[in-house]
């Protein structure tokens, strides 16, 4: 089977950020001084860490909604307005720091019914108003169980690029990589009535591994 870019150990969009300091550091180290090479080596190692796409063991079981991102839960808000779908749901917000894995994973298997990109501001991703005002990319998913849920990639004060690999009509599997947000950012997932939320604010989660909710 042909290897897809979402299956690579490094996010492809991050490769220029890794190669550039590596090449500059190598040139400086060979032509001038090893001490000039060291800062660029550190930048290269940081790039490799930041843009990594490690394999994850996806939990088995029916009705499990898994975390779409690595990071810390910065909000669990009941009665939040749902982008795209309309109505209300419980919004679980995950903040991804510069040191987290930044690939995003599908929380539940199903069909992507809509992908909607929205331009906006670049407020700090920890702030609640970032969910409405920041640049973002929202995906509406109809799960194999017939449940509709929305998850939103939200840019932050540093993040300036949102990457999404899926399109309307795509069939996706739980835990599959669907995109990334480059540099510090957040991901909001809206869990409708019928999903019991199993996480609390302040918890740390890993994309594709931790369970956010269970379909009742």
Active site residues: 185
DSSP per-residue codes, 93-145: EEEE-TTS--EEE-SS-EEEEEEEEE--B---TTSTTHHHHB-EEEEEEEETT
Instruction: Please provide residue 54's backbone torsions phi and psi, each rounded to the nearest 5 degrees.
Output: -75, 150
Cβ proximity of 174 and 141 under 8 Å: no
Residue 159 per-residue DSSP state: -
Cβ proximity of 66 and 59 under 8 Å: yes
Cβ proximity of 191 and 92 under 8 Å: yes
Which two tokens mark 201? Answer: 């604010």
Cβ proximity of 130 and 118 under 8 Å: no
């Amino acid at each position: 089977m042909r290897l897809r870019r979402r299956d690579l150990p490094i996010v492809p969009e991050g490769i220029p950020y890794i190669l550039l300091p590596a090449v500059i550091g190598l040139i400086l180290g060979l032509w001038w001084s090893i001490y000039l090479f060291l800062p660029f080596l550190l930048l290269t190692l940081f790039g490799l860490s930041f843009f990594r796409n490690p394999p994850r063991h996806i939990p088995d079981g029916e009705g499990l909604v898994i975390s779409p991102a690595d990071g810390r839960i910065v909000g669990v808000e009941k009665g939040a307005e749902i982008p795209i779908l309309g109505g209300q749901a419980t919004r679980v917000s995950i903040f991804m720091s510069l040191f987290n894995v930044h690939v995003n994973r599908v929380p539940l298997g199903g069909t992507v019914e809509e992908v909607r990109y929205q331009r906006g501001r670049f407020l700090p991703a920890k702030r609640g108003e970032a969910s409405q005002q920041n640049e973002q990319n929202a995906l509406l998913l109809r799960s194999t169980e017939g449940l509709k849920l929305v998850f939103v990639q939200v840019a932050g004060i540093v993040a300036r690029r949102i990457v999404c690999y899926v399109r309307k009509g795509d069939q996706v599997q739980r835990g599959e990589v669907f995109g990334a947000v480059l540099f510090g950012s957040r991901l909001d997932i809206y869990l409708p009535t019928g999903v019991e939320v199993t996480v609390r604010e302040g918890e740390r989660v890993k994309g594709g591994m931790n369970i956010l909710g269970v379909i009742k």
